Amino acid sequence: MNERELTDLLKADGEIITERLDHWADVAGDRTFFYYGEDDETLSYAVFVARANAIAGNLARLGIAKGDRVSVFCKNALASSLLMFGIWKAGAVYCPVNFSYAGRLLTYQLNDTAPKLVITDGALLPALNDVLDALAVKPAIIVYSPVPGAHDHIAEPPSVRPGHVEYAWSELTRPAAAPDVKVTFDDEANLIYTSGTTGPSKGVVQPYRWMAQYVYFLRALIGEDDVIYNDLPMYHVGGAIANICRAAWVGCEVAVWNRFSPDSFWERVKARRVTTAILLDVMIPWLDKAPPSENDRRNTLNKVHMQPLPLLHHDFAKRFGIDFVTAGFGQTESGAGISVVLEETQQGDGTPADLYRGYSHAEVAEIAARSGMPLQQGREAARKGLMGLPTFFVDVSVRDDLDEECDDEIAGHLALRPRLPGIFFHSYLGKPDATVKAFRNLWFHTGDAAVRGRDGMYYYVDRLGDRIRVRGENLSSFQVEDMINQHPSVQMSAVVAIPSEEGDEDQVVAYVVPVPGGAVSEQEIQAFAAETMPKYMRPRHVRIIDDLPRTPTNKVEKYKLRNSILQELGGKPRT
């Protein structure tokens, strides 16, 4: 396809998400858009839009203008979703903050973002209060106030630290019309933070068209009869964009909970007649641990996106009656540039006929062919790391250390190039050198290793650099080292990743060198981590050593540390 044809493809269903949401409010206003399981609350498209419009109008009244950044530091997924759309409708930039952050991590992100307004909740306000005086730019504060009876209602909520501008939640929710703000596909929509490898996390500036490209192929396989399941947080593109916005694009329901629960997952699917979900890595073995039952297949879930694609995908799909599994490559910077569809069962052998909703197998096959998505039989997809083929919107290459293209079956740096303006991120906020480096030689370098197989398919190999993945969260060794190094008895530290016991994720290992003449114990480091770091960031293993192994040029030889802990634990050393 040429550029004009690709542009028409994106515009066919609208490429501005707020306009698409308004479309469904106009033509199907009474249809359920958002079900919030934590409070058993259902919002129609019309009601959701009215609330988002009120937030947008009140943001404008409070001085939030087009391009202003608004940080959302909130656990409540319904409130966060309403705020996200309200922020967009005001022309402002949605800047979600990981609600596990506190102290140094929270200070860094808020200082880097420099928001004009921070919206938080009562449970997180103490963490925000602790860092307010350390912020270079003092934002206004609004504290979300749940109604009595809500799961997160606080009878006596804390107060914002004195000396900071605060507006009541009621100032944001009183009746108001959305302001007349026009945005284009290239206007900034989001600022999402992603882990760095050799430095602090980076703010990824995303335009509106990034979202349209990111969900394009996921939404192609669903229609108005589908129900999307979401338990991913709203500071992840998977939760906010791939699930919430995907529902708004196609006009279906999204059923939302605040967090994943293997014990409650199938009850939730049954309660809302869920047809499609995203399952990340460790979720799959957790669900598969349940004792087998003759009723495992009697559920409505017929399409699951798995990322990364585990080798047990076909067995899992057969057990639980999943008709289709999709996989690919997606990230905060480049969207979703590689995809594949796996037909895991034949029609009727997966989801029982009386429970099946959505496109038939024949319709999915036709959509995949029309959309350029490869369709394979699930039982034949047995090679680890399958991602699929490039989508219409990108070129894909595997590059060597000199940035030349690798031959087939030779691992290298996965790189993508946009075929349209606005479908990749604009920049790393305030980090022009990092942006230029990532886009060197006119390819965006993803930070991941991959191979192109002789079959033309792309296969994921590993993360490059010092990136670590734990419980669906991406982090860098730099972040963990930086936090450990704040301990007064620590001179330096080095953090490495080793394979987790479950799934394809990692465990965090920290090697710690005490200050000269000092001493520190593994238990003290673990306790310090528990006080200062989110749970997913805390080291699973801590070892105290006299010094770190180094090269003649003073670079830490992390591979030696990794192999040492693997040998100690009985694992296989990595080179």
* Domain 17-182: assigned CATH number: 3.40.50.980
Look at residue 575 and tell me whether its pLDDT is greater than 90. Answer: no
3-state secondary structure 305-339: EEECCCCCHHHHHHHHCCCEEEEEEEECCCEEEEE
Query: What percent of the chain has a predicted confidence (pLDDT) above 90?
Result: 82
Q: pLDDT digit string (tens) for 336-392?
A: 999 999 999 999 999 999 999 999 999 999 999 999 999 999 999 999 899 999 999
CB 182 within 8 A of CB 195: no
Q: What's the confidence (pLDDT) of residue 228? A: 98
Mean pLDDT, residues 54-75? 98
**How many helices, marked H, and strands, marked E, lie in the chain?**
18, 27
* Locus of tokens 């959305």: 178
DSSP conformation class of 239? I
Q: What's the confidence (pLDDT) of residue 571? A: 67
Q: What's the confidence (pLDDT) of residue 462? A: 77
Q: pLDDT digit string (tens) for 196-237?
A: 655 678 999 999 999 999 999 999 999 999 999 999 999 999
The secondary structure element, H or E, covering residue 276 is strand 276-280
Locate CATH 3.40.50.980 in the chain.
17-182, 216-387
Locate CATH 3.30.300.30 in the chain.
468-569
Q: Which residue has the higher pLDDT, 109 or 474?
A: 109
User: Strand, coil or helix: what is 190?
Assistant: strand
Look at residue 419 and tell me whether its pLDDT is greater than 80. Answer: yes
Q: How far apart are CA 356 and CA 299, in angstroms?
A: 9
Pairing of strands 32-36, 41-44: antiparallel
Q: What's the confidence (pLDDT) of residue 469? A: 78
State residue 62 phi and psi, 5-degree precision. -85, 5
Q: pLDDT digit string (tens) for 17-36?
A: 999 999 999 999 999 999 99
Q: How far apart are CA 226 and CA 359, in angstroms?
A: 9
Look at residue 572 and tell me whether its pLDDT is greater than 60. Answer: no
Local confidence band at 574 (pLDDT 50, 70, 90 cut-offs): very low
DSSP conformation class of 269? H
User: Six-digit token pair at 463?
Assistant: 């993360």
Q: What's the confidence (pLDDT) of residue 514? A: 93
Between CA 468 and CA 475, with CA 474 as vertex, the angle to 5 degrees is 60
Q: How far apart are CA 250 and CA 373, in angstroms?
A: 19
CB 206 within 8 A of CB 186: no
User: Strand, coil or helix: what is 128?
Assistant: helix
Q: How far apart are CA 313 and CA 306, in angstroms?
A: 8
Local confidence band at 58 (pLDDT 50, 70, 90 cut-offs): very high
Q: pLDDT digit string (tens) for 534-557?
A: 998 999 999 999 998 877 656 788
Q: What's the confidence (pLDDT) of residue 552? A: 65
Q: pLDDT digit string (tens) for 156-206?
A: 999 999 999 999 999 999 999 999 999 999 999 999 998 665 567 899 999
Look at residue 468 and tell me whether its pLDDT is greater than 60. Answer: yes
Q: What's the confidence (pLDDT) of residue 464? A: 78
Q: pLDDT digit string (tens) for 319-334?
A: 999 999 999 999 999 9
Give the Cβ contact number of residue 125 at 10 Å.
21
Pick the CATH number of 216-387 from 3.40.50.10140, 1.20.140.10, 3.40.50.980, 3.10.180.10: 3.40.50.980
Q: What's the confidence (pLDDT) of residue 478? A: 76
Top-tier CATH class for 468-569: alpha beta
Query: What percent of the chain has a predicted confidence (pLDDT) above 70?
Result: 97
